[in-house]
């Protein structure tokens, strides 16, 4: 499933966020932009609201490493063939690194590794989450999927629509059979640069960022985006999780990097201004916490589905609604674990939340 784009620019965050965008983005047609010697930026188109993903190419002595893939579409495959034929100075691809399992980032992992006979590098949690989730929804759907959304207060007909939307997903890819493991703190030597693996959590289990301290360059994936904030959700897989706590702790790790780092995100433009962007993302989530508390104070008690309408007032597709509800539960869970909110299971089997006394 592709990312659920949320605009995270509040007026206060925007005013305090001196981000700079030193490069114009490549067009999503096989064009590339050189960001530094041996580092190329390309874009793959996506037929959805978030209409592109950034992918990067790292030159080694005898070939190129790909970072992320794009969706499993004929268009993306054709663009990779074009890039291989015209942009690599006659050198081959020699490896694929996927920041995380979401299929805009790893949807062509199986095809690329087979087509170009290259290994796949991922963290352990991302590879196995991909193997578990990036497959068609079974018939009937898992009991836990319906149960989780019913307890969150989603009406039965909306759950049915969500499940139909998941079954219509056109981008589910075949899965690669093997990988080489990336670990937090590991260093990859590519083209004279040392890239340290910095693992983030919250958006996905073990999201791998790559940081070159010498050149102050961060390949950030979805952990640090310049305007939108990535979906951080609670799902039926880990219904009692607290992913926003993991996400905020991951921001703490990224904040320790050099303040003038050039950030290479998976969506939108390459940018500088890492410290301010971290502040802006923290502010965004604390604004969401305040909205949740205000909604609960007004209602006295409310389900996650009812609170979702306050956080996401625009009309959503059925699958977007699933992601919005998961993000709403994530904010409620953070507040609950922090002691600010209490949760009660009512006689209808639905969780209701209220502000702690």
Q: Residue 4 pLDDT more than 70? A: no
Residues 222 and 219: their CA atoms lie apart, in Å, by: 9
Instruction: Say what the pLDDT of residue 270 is.
Output: 98
Cα within 13 Å of Cα(199), Cβ side: 17
Instruction: Say what the pLDDT of residue 2 is.
Output: 42
* Residue 26 · residue 41 · CB < 8 Å: yes
Mean pLDDT for all residues in the chain: 94
- Please indicate, yes or no, if residue 156 is contained in any of the structural domains: yes
Residue 36, CA distances (Å) to 22, 43, 80, 236, 276 in order: 12, 17, 21, 42, 23
Instruction: Say what the pLDDT of residue 252 is.
Output: 95
Residue 70, CA distances (Å) to 56, 113, 254 in order: 11, 14, 24
DSSP 339: T
* Residue 289 · residue 305 · CB < 8 Å: no
Instruction: Say what the pLDDT of residue 10 is.
Output: 47
Q: Residue 21 pLDDT more than 60? A: yes
> Of 138-147, 179-188, 283-292, where does mean pLDDT reach its minimum?
138-147
Instruction: Say what the pLDDT of residue 49 is.
Output: 87
Residue with tokens 């990067």: 56
Determine the average pLDDT of the residues in 295-301. 97
DSSP 231-290: -----TTSTT--HHHHHHHHHHHHHTS-TTPEEEESSS--BB-HHHHHHHHHHHHHHHHH
Instruction: Say what the pLDDT of residue 135 is.
Output: 75
Q: What is the CATH number of the domain that holds 163?
A: 3.60.15.10
* pLDDT per position as a tens digit, 89-100: 999 999 999 999
Instruction: Say what the pLDDT of residue 310 is.
Output: 93
Residues 128 and 97: their CA atoms lie apart, in Å, by: 15
- pLDDT level of residue 138 (50, 70, 90 thresholds): confident
Residue 34, CA distances (Å) to 40, 42, 213, 263 in order: 5, 9, 19, 14
- Is residue 109 classed as helix, strand or coil in its secondary structure? helix
Q: 36 has which bridge partners?
A: 39
Which of 137, 55, 133 is closest to 96 using CA atoms? 55
Residues 267 and 282: their CA atoms lie apart, in Å, by: 19
- pLDDT level of residue 137 (50, 70, 90 thresholds): confident
Burial of 223 (0-12, 13-18, 19+ CB in 10 A): buried
**Beta strands 33-36 and 39-45: pairing type?**
antiparallel
The whole domain housing 330 covers: 6-171+179-355
- Please indicate, yes or no, if residue 1 is contained in any of the structural domains: no
Q: Residue 140 pLDDT more than 60? A: yes
What is the count of structural domains for the chain?
Answer: 1
Which of 81, 68, 48 is closest to 264 using CA atoms? 68
* pLDDT per position as a tens digit, 335-355: 999 999 999 999 999 999 999
* pLDDT per position as a tens digit, 33-42: 999 999 999 9
- Please indicate, yes or no, if residue 73 is contained in any of the structural domains: yes
Determine the average pLDDT of the residues in 140-164. 95
* pLDDT per position as a tens digit, 51-88: 999 999 999 999 999 999 999 999 999 999 999 999 99
Of 47 and 134, the one with more pLDDT: 47
DSSP 128: H
Cα within 13 Å of Cα(254), Cβ side: 34
* pLDDT per position as a tens digit, 237-270: 999 999 999 999 999 999 999 999 999 999 999 9
- Please indicate, yes or no, if residue 330 is contained in any of the structural domains: yes
Burial of 274 (0-12, 13-18, 19+ CB in 10 A): buried
Q: List the structure tokens of 330.
A: 């994530």
- pLDDT level of residue 15 (50, 70, 90 thresholds): very low
Sign of the dihedral defined by the CA atoms of residues 117, 76, 219, 323, in that order: negative
DSSP 23-84: SPPPPTTT--EEEETTEEEEEEE-SSSS-EEEEEEEEETTEEEEE----SSHHHHHHHHHHH
Determine the average pLDDT of the residues in 6-29. 72
* Residue 107 · residue 114 · CB < 8 Å: no
Q: Residue 5 pLDDT more than 60? A: no
Q: Residue 17 pLDDT more than 90? A: no
Instruction: Say what the pLDDT of residue 136 is.
Output: 83
Angle between the 156-167 and 318-337 helix axes, to the nearest 10 degrees? Answer: 120
Q: Residue 8 pLDDT more than 60? A: no
């Amino acid at each position: 499933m592709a990312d659920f784009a949320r605009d995270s620019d509040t007026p206060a965050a925007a005013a305090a966020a001196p981000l700079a965008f030193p490069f114009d983005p490549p067009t999503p047609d096989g064009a590339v932009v050189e960001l530094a010697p041996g580092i190329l930026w390309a874009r793959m188109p996506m037929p959805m609201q978030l209409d592109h993903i950034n992918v990067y190419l790292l030159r080694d002595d005898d070939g190129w490493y790909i970072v992320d893939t794009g969706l499993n579409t004929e268009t993306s495959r054709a663009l990779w063939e074009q890039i291989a034929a015209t942009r690599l100075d006659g050198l081959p691809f020699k490896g694929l690194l996927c920041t995380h399992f979401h299929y805009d980032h790893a949807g062509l992992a199986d095809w690329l590794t087979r087509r170009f006979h290259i290994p796949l590098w991922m963290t352990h949690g991302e590879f196995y989450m991909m193997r578990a989730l990036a497959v068609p929804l079974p018939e009937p759907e898992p009991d836990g999927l319906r149960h989780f959304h019913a307890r969150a207060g989603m009406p039965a007909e909306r759950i049915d629509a969500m499940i139909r939307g998941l079954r219509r997903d056109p981008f589910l890819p075949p899965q690669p059979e093997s990988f080489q493991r990336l670990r937090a703190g590991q260093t990859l030597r590519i083209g004279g640069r040392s890239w340290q693996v910095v693992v983030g959590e919250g958006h996905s289990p073990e999201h791998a960022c790559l940081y070159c301290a010498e050149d102050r360059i961060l390949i950030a994936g979805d952990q640090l985006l310049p305007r939108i904030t990535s979906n951080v959700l609670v799902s039926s897989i880990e219904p009692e999780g607290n992913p926003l706590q993991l996400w905020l702790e991951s921001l703490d790790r990224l904040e320790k990097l050099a303040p003038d780092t050039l950030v290479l995100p998976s969506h939108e433009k390459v940018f500088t201004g890492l410290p301010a962007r971290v502040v802006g993302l923290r502010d965004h989530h604390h604004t969401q916490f305040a909205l949740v508390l205000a909604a609960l104070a007004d209602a006295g008690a409310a389900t996650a589905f009812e609170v979702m309408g306050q956080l996401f007032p625009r009309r959503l597709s059925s699958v977007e609604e699933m992601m919005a509800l998961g993000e709403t539960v994530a904010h409620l869970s953070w507040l609950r674990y922090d002691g600010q909110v209490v949760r009660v299971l009512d006689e209808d089997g639905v969780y209701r939340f209220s502000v702690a006394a």
